[in-house]
């Protein structure tokens, strides 16, 4: 199995800030429709794709969640000189904003650059301070009258970066979490017969508080839940062994816990056994800061779900240079397929 680079590229590059996921949602619907028994969109904007089980129809439900949204910004003010102020949608390390191109999605898309005070005119005290998001503004190269023809307060802003291949890796903005969107699409395309009815959910607004997954899980009320998301791969110079979380090229990651979820020990054990039985390369993941849709999938159904997560190791998270290894992507697809097909072969009793 090879990674479909053109499909992954289109998924990663398309815009979809939290609350403004229409473009990526339309792409997902168009791509998954041939592989689904039913496709629907709920009031929040989650795309729910149903694939019925042939061997155990209408018995239990499997929910797999991959969030569509990407970290971004929203326009809050346009000053008298046409410079744009913004608020973040999702978590940013301010230093990563320096010298970046962005796209403001107004009446038409306009490319801008993140500007800030030049170092040449900073005081010694200013030079020693860490940057804040409020230090930055967006420069569109236009005066206020020109800007107002196309841009309004409330317009979303996304980062501008193309996907490229680097060695055995892919590099782009929004690998978090578009690589998981790609994995779920490929699973819908390739899976033969789910153990139980499959609800593949492409969720919204994860980056601002797993809001879409909460609503989707409440509506579906799944028996089993699997979240798909990226995780830290801090396998770089200066990292100590216990800090790495995961490593690129060492396979997919099976989540044990993150800051919002302790995965069900049965699901963790099932995933490990399934990976070993199918000779799928994997590594354990414990992420002590940050959360994923796993929390919503696990807790927001009426009865709760036996839930866990498959994580894709990713370097440089929440930057425009996020990097994932092609082998880890392929192994993630294999593990998700195997888990969905083998769920009825495991003893789920406590």
Are 307 and 224 a contacting pair, CB within 8 Å?
A: yes
Cβ neighbours, 10 Å, residue 323: 19
In the numeric block, which tokens belong to residue 255? 């989540």
DSSP 327: H
232-270 in b/e form (b: 16+ CB < 10 A) is bbbbeeeeeeeebbbbbbbbbbbbbbbebbebbebbbeb
Cβ neighbours, 10 Å, residue 4: 14
Are 137 and 83 a contacting pair, CB within 8 Å?
A: yes
Candidate list 21, 70, 186, 206, residue with the active-site label: 206
Whole-number Å distance between alpha carbons of 305 and 300? 8
Roughly what angle, to the nearest 10 degrees, separates helices 22-32 and 175-190?
20
Q: Residues 250, 251, 256, CA angle at the centre, nearest 5°?
A: 105
Cβ neighbours, 10 Å, residue 325: 23
Q: Tell me the C-alpha to C-alpha distance, in Å, between residue 32 and each of 1, 177, 201, 253, 298.
A: 19, 17, 11, 25, 25
For the question of residue 13 being annotated catalytic, the response is no
> Which residues carry out catalysis?
206
């Amino acid at each position: 199995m090879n990674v479909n680079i053109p499909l992954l590229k289109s998924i990663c590059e398309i815009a979809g800030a939290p609350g403004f996921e229409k473009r990526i949602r339309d792409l997902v619907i168009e791509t998954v429709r041939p592989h689904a028994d039913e496709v629907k969109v709920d009031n929040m904007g989650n795309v729910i794709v149903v694939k019925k089980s042939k061997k155990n129809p209408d018995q239990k439900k499997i929910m797999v969640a991959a969030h569509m949204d990407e970290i971004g910004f929203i326009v809050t003010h346009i000053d008298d000189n046409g410079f744009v102020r913004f608020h973040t949608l999702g978590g940013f390390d301010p230093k990563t904003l320096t010298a970046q191109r962005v796209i403001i999605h107004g009446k038409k898309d306009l490319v801008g650059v993140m500007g800030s005070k030049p170092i040449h005119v900073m005081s010694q005290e200013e030079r020693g301070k860490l940057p804040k998001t409020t230090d930055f503004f967006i420069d569109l190269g236009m005066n206020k009258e020109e800007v107002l023809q196309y841009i309004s307060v409330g317009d979303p802003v996304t980062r501008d970066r193309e996907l490229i291949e680097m060695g055995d890796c892919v590099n782009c903005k929004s690998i978090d979490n578009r690589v998981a969107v790609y994995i779920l699409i490929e699973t819908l395309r390739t899976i033969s017969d789910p153990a139980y009815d499959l609800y593949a959910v492409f969720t919204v607004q994860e980056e601002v508080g797993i809001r879409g997954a909460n609503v989707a899980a409440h509506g579906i009320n799944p028996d089993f839940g699997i979240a798909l998301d990226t995780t830290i791969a801090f396998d770089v110079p200066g990292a100590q062994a216990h800090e790495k979380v995961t490593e690129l090229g060492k396979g997919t990651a099976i989540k044990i816990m993150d800051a919002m979820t302790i995965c069900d020990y049965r699901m963790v054990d099932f995933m490990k056994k399934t990976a070993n039985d199918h000779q799928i390369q994997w590594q354990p993941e414990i992420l002590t800061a940050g959360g994923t849709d796993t929390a919503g999938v696990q807790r927001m159904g009426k009865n709760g779900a036996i839930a866990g997560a498959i994580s894709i190791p990713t370097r440089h998270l929440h930057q425009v240079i996020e990097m994932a290894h092609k082998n880890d992507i392929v192994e993630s697809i294999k593990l998700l397929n195997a888990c969905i097909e083998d769920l009825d072969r495991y003893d789920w009793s406590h």
